Amino acid sequence: MTVAYEKSVVGTGLIALCGNPNSGKTTIFNALTGLSQQVANYPGVTVEKVSGKLDLSSEAGRSFTLVDVPGAYSLSAFSPDEYIAALVLFGGIKGQPRPEAVLCVIDATQLERGLYLLLQILQIGCPAVVALNMVDLARRSGLRIIHHRLSKMLGGVPVVPVVGNRRRGLDKLRQQIAGVLSTPRSGTALRFDEITEAALDGMVGADADPVYSRARCLRVLYDEEGPAETEFVRERGETAMEPVQRARERIRSRYGSLASGETRTLTDRASEIFESVVRSKNGPGRTRSEKVDRFLLHPVLGPLVLALLMILVFQSIFSWAAPFMEMIDGVFASLAAVVEKGMPPGPLRSLVTDGIIGGVGSVLIFVPQIAILFIFIALLEDSGYMPRAAFLVDRLFRWCGLSGKSFIPMLSSFACAIPGIMATRTIEDRKLRFITIMVAPLMTCSARLPVYAIMIAAFIPYKTYLGLFNLQGIVLTMLYLLGMVVAVIVSYVLKKLIFRTEQGTFMMEMPSYKLPTLRSISVRVVNRIKSFVVRAGTVILAITVIIWALSYYPRPVVLAPSAESPQAATVETVNEQAGQQIRGSYLGMVGRKIEPVFAPLGWDWKITVAVLAAFPAREVVIATLGTIYNLGTDVEEQSSSLVEKMRKARWEEGSSAGKPVFSPAVALSIMVFFALCCQCGATLVTIRQETTKWIYAVATFAYMTVVAYAGAAAVYQVFSRWGL
């Protein structure tokens, strides 16, 4: 049965890329779009919309946008967020045109499962192309897929064998996409039983809007009480559902359940196609991943390998990034010196050198470390090891009531808590989902890394143990583990006292191991760094300028230089004036008022103000310290870096006057506080959006702040008594 697709969509320039999770969809998307990607949110939900420019040389004069549709095994959905994948394909997203074509990625090693989603997509009637990915792995496992026969059985839909991570077949794929755009081929839509077909005819025929395709009506019919039904009732009224309800009852009578009416037809057809196009022979390739998993998923060896791998990551963050960080630090120091010589003294010079260059430069210096972190994350994900890591963590922490479905979002939160919180939508149990949302921010995200890096580099000595491990890397590892341990404890408390949940079952697909490619990793890392730099250049820059203004005004009375020793007096006078300026500024007034509250943590008012200023974004604390400590507190040229400024900082008054402000105990106190607090406004907004109530966001901020304060105070009190 052929389904017509309205010609009105031609010219939109939008192509949708869809497929099952772990089918290599993102790898192909990166290969086709490169660095032209943009990330936004779909209207009304927090699902990320990733799009990029697609170059089709044969279609000169036309531009195309490739939209990466959220991965799904089926178009069936029971929440607005799950329904996004279907709406993109239906052309039901507000403000976004219908796709001009659909590119469906199917894992060749899991062809039968991929065909289930493809058969649903063909119901839309949109021109389609199939990218049969990982054909190399299929051959190794003894599978030979006759792709020409597969294309014929799908009604002429082009099927292109590709190896996404090797960029093989992509040119042919582009040609086929261009071909279906010029000569639309929508394939053959699958016919269901007479009950379903009669119901579909009634729904489609009653609507003048061609957007309501067979595929969309199938969602209304089979996804009872789902978002498709809600939308259908809103548009047509309750009476339009009466024949649909009658059809549902007839389907239940025939198949025993409503879902079986669709799944049985789809699975039978997928199986029929699979048997016709696949030739199988015994081969060793498919068992390679299984052989590796015998070791990596071993109850003893598996966790040991995971622990060693994490230690390697954290050690590398310090060891490999150091030369690049020194180079960036030198560039910004030289830039500040040039500007300082070329501008007359005054507020403008202070704003440029101390506020903008000093503040933003002190954040950008951590780009090398963030790049290394994301390189390792990309390697783990692209190789297929990340789901194994989730499985191991699930097995280790199952006692606290969380399953692997919770730890996948928590692992994602190591990059950023926001996508990690969004990833909890895969958790069916509402209580379990809310627990995961409330503990996900405890995972050490990349924004905490600059805080750890500068404190460790400045106050934790570089000592090597056993010739392999250094103390700085060990401290960083402990900070990452601290967030995980506290998250497990908090989730256990929430489970017992607030959310009483049943023990979850962890089921997830273990994809075959693949060799990551340099291009795929580069695209992901560059996009992440670009996002970080944009953040540093907007939010952090704005806050830095505000902090500079608060610490610069009002100007204090300038002291007269001493006549006895002009040179010595000049240095002393400059330092004294700088101290007066900071103490008498608006920032100093506020900080000195609240300093006693944070005294048990070992902080002076400057540290306190920097931490409070970092509420919108954690990494702002570095920019704030850079702004405060670059305001003339030291006139020696060789102490231009923030690390040196912090090492030389002294208490200005009280019983500790003249003593160093920072020490290993204070540095550990600051790091523990940031490991456990929720200094991220965007995360709290996301929690509210995902739970629909502010109470969960407020509760998360409150408990994390209390735990952070208590932990930081305990660490400072213990280590300071040890003389650190």
The CB density around residue 445, as the number of other CB atoms within 10 Å, is 23
Q: Which of 180, 174, 135, 182 is nearest to 33 (CA)?
A: 174
pLDDT band at 124 (very low <50, low <70, confident <90, very high): confident
Fold topology of 7-280: Rossmann fold (3.40.50)
> Which residue is associated with the tokens 């070791």?
295
User: pLDDT value at position 583?
Assistant: 66
- Segment (H or E) for 130: strand 128-133
pLDDT over 60 at 27, yes or no: yes
Interval 17-33 mean pLDDT:
86
- The token duo for 639 is 């102490």
CA dihedral 626, 629, 635, 638 (to 10 degrees): -50
Distance CA 601, CA 676 (A): 14
Q: What is each CA distance from 331 to 187, 325, 328, 361, in whole angstroms?
A: 58, 10, 5, 9
pLDDT band at 632 (very low <50, low <70, confident <90, very high): very low
Distance CA 638, CA 624 (A): 21
Of 27-36, 398-407, 523-532, 712-721, highest mean pLDDT: 712-721
For residues 214 and 197, the answer to whether their CB atoms sit within 8 Å is no
Higher local confidence (pLDDT), 359 or 459: 459
Interval 354-377 mean pLDDT:
74
Interval 289-313 mean pLDDT:
82
Higher local confidence (pLDDT), 636 or 277: 277
Per DSSP, the three-state class of 535 is helix
Distance CA 681, CA 686 (A): 9
Interval 569-589 mean pLDDT:
62
Per DSSP, the three-state class of 101 is strand
pLDDT over 80 at 642, yes or no: no
- Segment (H or E) for 49: strand 48-54
Cis omega before residue 554 (within 30°)?
A: yes
User: pLDDT value at position 635?
Assistant: 34
User: pLDDT value at position 57?
Assistant: 65
Q: Exposed e or buried b for every residue in 388-397, given b needs 16+ CB within 10 A?
A: bbbbbbbebb
Kindly report the backbone phi and psi dihedral angles of residue 17, in degrees, each rounded to the nearest multiple of 5, phi listed first. Answer: -110, 120
Q: Largest Cα–Cα distance in the chain?
A: 106
pLDDT band at 673 (very low <50, low <70, confident <90, very high): very high
Cα atoms found within 13 Å of the Cα of residue 643, Cβ hemisphere only: 18
User: pLDDT value at position 540?
Assistant: 63
Torsion sign (Cα): 702, 703, 708, 711 = positive
User: pLDDT value at position 401?
Assistant: 60
Q: What is each CA distance from 258 to 46, 122, 160, 195, 385, in whole angstroms?
A: 30, 21, 35, 12, 37
pLDDT over 60 at 220, yes or no: yes
Distance CA 452, CA 449 (A): 5
Domain with CATH 3.40.50.300 in the chain: 7-280
Higher local confidence (pLDDT), 377 or 627: 377
The CB density around residue 12, as the number of other CB atoms within 10 Å, is 16
Beta bridge partners of 666: none
pLDDT tens, position by position, 182-213: 876 666 778 888 888 888 888 865 544 554 67
Mean pLDDT, all residues of the chain? 77
pLDDT over 70 at 3, yes or no: no
User: pLDDT value at position 560?
Assistant: 47
pLDDT band at 8 (very low <50, low <70, confident <90, very high): very low
AA identity, residue 564? E
pLDDT band at 633 (very low <50, low <70, confident <90, very high): very low
